[in-house]
Amino acid sequence: MDRYEIINRIGAEFLKSNIENGEFSYAKALKNIGKNHIDYMSDDAKRKYKDIDLRFVEGNLTILVETKQHITNGNLLGDMEQLQHYVYFEKELTGNKVIAILAATQTNEIMVWQDGSDIIDDVHYDRSQRVIKSMEEYKNIHFGTRNDKISLVENTNELNELLHQYGINEGIRSQFVGTCLLALKYDLAYDYPRVTSGQIREGIQEILEDLLDGDLNKARKLVILKDNVIDSQDVRDLKVDEFQHILRDIENKIIPYINEKSTMGQDLLNLFFTTFNKYVGKADKNQAFTPDHIVHFMCNVIGINRHSIVLDPCCGSGAFLVRAMTEAMDDCDTDEERENIKKNQIFGIEFEEKAYGLSTTNMLIHGDGNSNVLQGSCFDLLDDVVEKTKINTILMNPPYNAQRKHSNPKYVETWKTTTKQDPSKGFHFVYEAAKKIKTGKLAVLLPTQCAIGNSGDVKLFKRKMLEEHTLDAVFSLPIDIFHPGASASACCMIFNLGMRHENSPIKETFFGYFKDDGYEKRKNLGRMEREDGLWRKIEEEWLTLYFNRESKAGMSVTKKVKANDEWLAEAYMQTDYDKLSYNDFQKNINNYLSYLVKIGEIYEE
């Protein structure tokens, strides 16, 4: 990257020079304000520094770039000393926040210091930086909206109570608040004299039309959002002052606590949106919204990165798509790479209209026009998606009790006439997706029955999967993972696609007994972290055990398995008796008694 490219990258309009060749003389600038740059040099400086190659200024931010042909160990201490003095001079000249950069024009290497310490050494060097960013990006990083999870959670819960008070049904709250947030981000006018509720709805619709412009499915998506949200009875019944109250709360109590241009901000956007899905779950016990922390874990397991091309063939509310997009973008160096991920690397299919509307809104609030999310049967649309791009990653949580209309028609032909729901418990969705994609990684949530099953259709699809693919890992997950929605007990399976199980160079499958994710049920809030930061520690342990394929008593084991075997850690791992207590014993007795009552073996009097 030469000087010209650096200037264009940061922004030529921000370049400040006061001598020839675009350089900046601190001796001259400090002299103009009655100061001598020599006074701010260290006593042991190797030479008298005064002119920096490139200096960019925007308000209270200065970016200093010193260019070298190469960054070498032999010269690095001297280069850092030189840059350190320019930081001294800049602080004396403007007092600005300073980002200091060493850039190698021959090798494109950079070293960046931006932690606010103003110390240029090996300790404070930011090793995560690989490319020079624009002034706008640096401004946003250091002066953009602050992310505040605590305030966001508190205000989101208050907003939910307000929606309840104003009669907004639980089933449309996610889409409604997401749509309102979107409209406000794009300058919805809602608080002017004599405005009506109808005019506010029209304003929201106009913004959605603009956001979906160019989307091949624009008309269909607008109909769904209009019919199910904007023109729903609950929203039409809102009085104008109630509508304004909701919008004002989102504008003043939600948006200011989310910096959506940062990874954490994207996480908080997801937290805001999915919080309302918990309330959907109370009303619909068949909804299995995947918790974001489990989605994050699955993305880490299969290594989502900037080269991942991701498909969720049963995308529901879009949780896997949003998380995959966020993780892939976080691995990018440039805005161009990030835009390419949004446009060309995230694909979803959803059958149900309501869930399709959720995914449309979810992707939109994360900055994606979602032209690659389609409505319809994955069995009809998979071929079209595969023909357009080279999918290499599948993330999915298929329906566990799909009706005939949701299932593969060819498979349905094999059902008994009395069979109403998918006997494979979702496994045939996995098999069909894997068959179409052929190679790559697949991570799926399935009911525990699919891991245990050694008979019937579950056994059939276990065998078919291993004939074509490798079972890399299975994780047993918390029993109440979908609370307060579906009550299904689920496990996560990881497949390496294209390599027959028996031919895999790694002969043993990894099994994790990951039943404690650090979350607990809380009234009216769903499952929440027991203490802040606990999940991060647990996730790190889970990932370490998996990547090292480590066997640990009570946690994990590796085992060579076939289709007839159980695919669960519980069947093979050693028990860690040191962790067992009387309460564990009593809890299991209580669970067993509850089971006996449920199946009618014993009766409560």
pLDDT in tens, 244-283: 999 999 999 999 888 877 777 788 888 888 777 665 543 4
User: Is residue 166 classed exposed, middle or buried when 0-12, 13-18 and 19+ CB atoms within 10 A define those classes?
Assistant: middle
**Is the CATH code 3.30.565.10 the one for domain 284-580?**
no
Whether residue 478 has a cis bond before it, omega within 30° of 0: no
How many angstroms separate the CA atoms of 213 and 262, rounded?
25
Q: Say which DSSP state 28 is in.
A: H
pLDDT digits (tens, 9 = 90+) for 347-397: 999 998 888 888 888 888 887 655 688 999 999 999 999 988 899 999 999
Joined tokens for residue 413 = 């032909």
Joined tokens for residue 98 = 């300073």
For the full predicted model, state whether its pTM sits above 0.75: yes
Q: What is the pLDDT of residue 586?
A: 81
Joined tokens for residue 293 = 């922390």
**Fold: same for 3-143 and 284-580:** no
DSSP code string of 97-130:
EEEEEEEETTT--EEEE-SSS---STTT--TT--
pLDDT digits (tens, 9 = 90+) for 307-356: 999 999 999 888 999 999 999 999 998 888 988 998 899 999 999 888 88
pLDDT digits (tens, 9 = 90+) for 432-453: 999 999 999 999 999 999 999 8
What is the C-alpha R_g of the chain?
A: 28
CA dihedral 470, 472, 476, 482 (to 10 degrees): -70
Architecture of domain 3-143: Alpha-Beta Complex (3.90)
Angle CA(262)–CA(268)–CA(269) in degrees, nearest 5? 90
pLDDT digits (tens, 9 = 90+) for 55-70: 999 999 999 999 999 9
H helix runs in 166-315, sequence order: 173-185, 197-211, 218-225, 233-236, 240-253, 263-283, 292-301
Q: What is the pLDDT of residue 367?
A: 75
Q: Where are the domains of the chain?
A: 3-143, 145-283, 284-580
pLDDT digits (tens, 9 = 90+) for 569-593: 999 987 666 666 777 778 778 777 7
The percent of residues in the chain predicted with pLDDT above 70, rounded, is: 93
CA dihedral 481, 484, 486, 490 (to 10 degrees): 0
Q: What is the mean pLDDT of residues 498-503?
A: 96
pLDDT digits (tens, 9 = 90+) for 127-180: 988 899 999 989 988 887 788 888 888 899 899 999 999 999 988 888 899 899
Phi, psi for 252 (deg, rounded to 5): -100, -20
At 91, the amino acid letter reads: K
Q: What is the mean pLDDT of the chain?
A: 89
